[in-house]
Each structure stands twice: as C-alpha cells, then as structure tokens.
C-alpha cells in the first residue's frame, strides 16, 4: 500500500526528493507523518487527500515552489498538529486558510514571499503555540494575532524577523506579558530609530528576554537623519535622539491610593509565587493580611498607601524548570491626588486668599450706594468728621 517513489516505515510516509509534481494517490489511512518536501508540488488543491486521514499529525511541504493553497486543502486532515509550508512561493494568506486545523500547534511559513495576511487567516487556531513568519515581505505588524489573547490564546512564539516592518506598536507590545515577549522575534527588519523602540528593546535586555539577548547584533534600526543602520541598543549614545535610560518596573502612587504590582514573569506554567515587601514581610497566601493582598494572577495589591509602603518589592516565581525573581520599585508621594478629603498645599491656599482679598477690595471700592440725583434727598446727613477716626480713614470722597 506504499505509493510509488515513497518509503513507508510504520506510520511514517516519506516521499521527499522524489521529483513529484503532485501528491501521490492513494495515501494509506494509517499515515501519521507525511513528508513531501523537496519536490515540485506547486499547487495544493482541495482534492489532494480525497479521503480522510484520521491519524495524520505532521505534514511537511517545504521546498516545493508552492504558490497556491486551497482554503479547503485541510478539510480531510483535521487532526494535524505540525504543518511545514516553509521555503515556498506563497504570496498571500487567504481568508480562513487554516480554519479547519483546530488542533494545529506548529505552523512554519518562513522563507516565502508573503506580503498580505488576511485578518481571519489564523481563525480558529486555538491550540497554535508556534508561528514562524520570518523572511517574508510583511510590512504591517499583525497586532490582531496578539491583542487580548483571544485570537491565538496559546501562542507562545511569533517569529517576524527579516521582514519589511518599518514601525512597531511599541505601547501595545510593551503591555504584552513577558512570557510572550520572550519569544517575539523582530530582528532583521528596517525599523526606524526612535526612543520608544529603544525603550522596548532595552527593557527586553534588562529582563533577559531570549528574543533580545540571542539577537542583539541583528536588532538594528535606521536613523532618520543619516539613513544609516545602527544597533537599537546603541541609541542611548545618540545625541540626535537623546533617549533616556531605562527604568524598569517603577510604579508611582499617592497617599491613600490602591495600586497593583504586576509579577510580569517570562516563565510559563508557573506553579507558585510569593512577594516580599521592603520591610521583609513575606506575602504567600492569596488575600494576604493587612493592606497587602496576593492576587490569583500573581500580582500584589496594596490598599491605603502610606509613606512607609515605598521601597523595592520582590516577586519570587517558581516555574516548572527555572525560578525567577522580579523587582518592582514603588514611589509614594506624600500628598493625595483625588478624593473629597484631599489637603491643599500652601501655595494654592495663598493664591486663593489673594484672589478673594482683591475681589473684596474691588467690591468695596466700586459697588458703593447709589449717588444719582433722585436719591440725594433721601440720604442722611453725614455725621461730623470727628465722630470717628475710622470714618475719616474708610470713607470715600464724592469723586470716587
């Protein structure tokens, strides 16, 4: 039952380098791994697998000159977990192209000619963990793949290296969890130099993220003035940009505020964690005691901030293989920012007092009783000038 020019070994079906121009047929139903790499299969139609292959979990189609993949090409392989379409000539990823692969975990698309990625191309890939899109022609960062973690909830690696990205959504990337930024590869792109980009990469080096430490030499950008490529981490010494030094994990609060310190670990599968306050108190139980409370996601919530709450907090994380300790510096300002019981500082009180004094003087000087001719008869004769010393000082003349 093994197809011609192929080698069958148990559930493995190897047809690599067999000069095939189409997928051999029929394919045995017991096949679990199908290797069609290094052939001439340029089009993958919907009928390449006329019958369901219930055991197939790996499909290798690299180095085929593949330029077309039908949106129904994976209907008969619903249990596929590893798909290799690398080193081909794919230019676009069509709508719902991989939506039939609900169990797919690894998708290799690097070294193609992809410039357009439909927003729904990776729909329904709830199990996808690794997505390789490096060495293509992508010019727009596909942020929808990462935002909110709803499209690809299990994604742990995204390779966008060696594409045509000119800018990055730095603010939204910085908000991603560290375990995802640890495997977000962006080196080899013609990025434009600016300080937010430097801050993103420098924080990655500070946190020992693999995507930064392993590719420091290839993380480069183009200076807007000279159009020359320089290392992103060298922007701290560029006088034209004057980027400030990185301050990692510094949080500010005011008296009486409630703040949450994030334990942004780069480890996945965390089993345990605890916090240590600046005073040496260990918070290990969810709910905590006093003003410090350990949250279910590993964060630490502090209520009713006091001046003595300021300092450096450490979060100890125990992963399945390694451990990690994070440090968060908390600054507490000695005045409140919001609320009905806020105190006013001296400068503000003085300013208000001066304004009220000026208003009262103006009211006294200009809002005097009516001096019209019809009212003069009703006026009482003024008392003698020597009745009161105060009167001689405070009374106004008719000219006023």
* Predicted confidence (pLDDT) per residue in 84-119, tens digit: 999 999 999 999 999 999 999 999 999 999 999 988
**Nearest-CA neighbor of 269 among 152, 156, 105, 130?**
156
List Cα–Cα distances, 78 to 14, 257, 314, 361, in angstroms: 20, 52, 46, 86
Provide CB contacts within 8 A for 236, sequence distance 6+: 198, 202, 243, 245
Mean pLDDT of the chain: 84
The rounded radius of gyration (Å) of the Cα atoms in the chain is 35
In terms of Cβ atoms closer than 10 Å to its own Cβ (0-12, 13-18, 19+), residue 42 is middle
**Nearest-CA neighbor of 213 among 243, 187, 192, 177?**
187
Domain covering 251-333, topology: Immunoglobulin-like (2.60.40)
| Token duo for residue 229 | 């490529």
Q: Tens digit of pLDDT for each residue in 308-367?
A: 888 888 888 887 777 878 788 888 887 665 544 444 455 566 777 778 888 887 777 777
What's 71's DSSP letter? T
| Concatenated DSSP letters of 271-337 | -EEEEE-TTS-EE-SBT-BTTEEE-TTS-EEE-S--GGG-EEEEEEEE-SS-EEEEEEEEEEESS--
pLDDT band at 381 (very low <50, low <70, confident <90, very high): low
* Residue entry with tokens 């394919």: 27
Percent of the chain with pLDDT over 90: 43
Three-state DSSP at 227 gives coil
| Token duo for residue 400 | 């006023």
Given this model, what pLDDT does residue 264 score? 82
Domain locations in the chain?
A: 251-333
């Amino acid at each position: 039952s093994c197809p011609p020019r192929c080698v069958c070994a148990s559930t493995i079906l190897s047809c690599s380098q067999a000069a095939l121009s189409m997928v051999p047929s029929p394919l045995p139903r017991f096949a679990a791994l199908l290797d069609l790499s290094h052939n001439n299969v340029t089009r993958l139609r919907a009928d390449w697998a006329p019958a369901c292959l219930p055991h197939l979990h790996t499909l290798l189609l690299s180095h085929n000159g593949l330029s077309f993949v039908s949106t129904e090409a994976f209907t008969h392989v619903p249990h596929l977990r590893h798909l290799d379409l690398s080193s081909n000539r794919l230019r676009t990823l069509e709508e719902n192209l991989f939506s039939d692969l609900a169990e797919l975990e690894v998708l290799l698309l690097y070294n193609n000619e992809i410039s357009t990625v439909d927003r729904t191309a990776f729909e329904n890939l709830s199990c996808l963990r690794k997505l390789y899109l490096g060495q293509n022609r992508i010019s727009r960062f596909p942020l929808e793949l990462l935002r909110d973690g709803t499209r690809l909830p299990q994604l742990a690696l995204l390779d966008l290296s060696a594409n045509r990205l000119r800018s990055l959504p730095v603010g939204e990337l910085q908000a991603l969890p560290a375990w995802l930024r640890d495997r977000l590869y962006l080196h080899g792109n013609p990025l434009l130099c600016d300080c937010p980009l430097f801050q993103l990469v420098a924080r990655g080096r500070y946190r020992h993220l693999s995507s930064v430490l392993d590719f420091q030499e290839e993380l480069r950008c183009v200076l807007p003035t000279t159009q020359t490529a320089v290392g992103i981490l060298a922007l701290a010494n560029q006088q034209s940009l004057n980027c400030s030094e990185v301050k990692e994990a510094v949080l500010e609060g005011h008296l009486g505020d409630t703040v949450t310190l994030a334990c942004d670990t780069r480890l996945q599968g965390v089993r345990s964690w605890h916090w240590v306050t600046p005073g040496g108190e260990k918070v290990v139980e969810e709910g905590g005691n006093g003003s410090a409370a350990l949250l279910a996601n590993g964060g630490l919530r502090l209520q009713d901030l006091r001046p003595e709450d300021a300092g450096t907090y450490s979060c100890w994380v125990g992963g399945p293989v390694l451990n990690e300790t994070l440090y968060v510096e908390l600054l507490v300002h000695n005045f409140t920012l919001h609320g009905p019981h806020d105190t006013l500082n001296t400068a503000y009180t003085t300013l208000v007092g001066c304004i009220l004094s000026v208003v009262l003087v103006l009211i006294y000087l200009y809002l005097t009783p009516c001096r019209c001719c019809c009212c003069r008869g009703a006026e009482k004769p003024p008392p003698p000038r020597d009745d009161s010393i105060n009167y001689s000082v405070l009374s106004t003349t008719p000219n006023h």
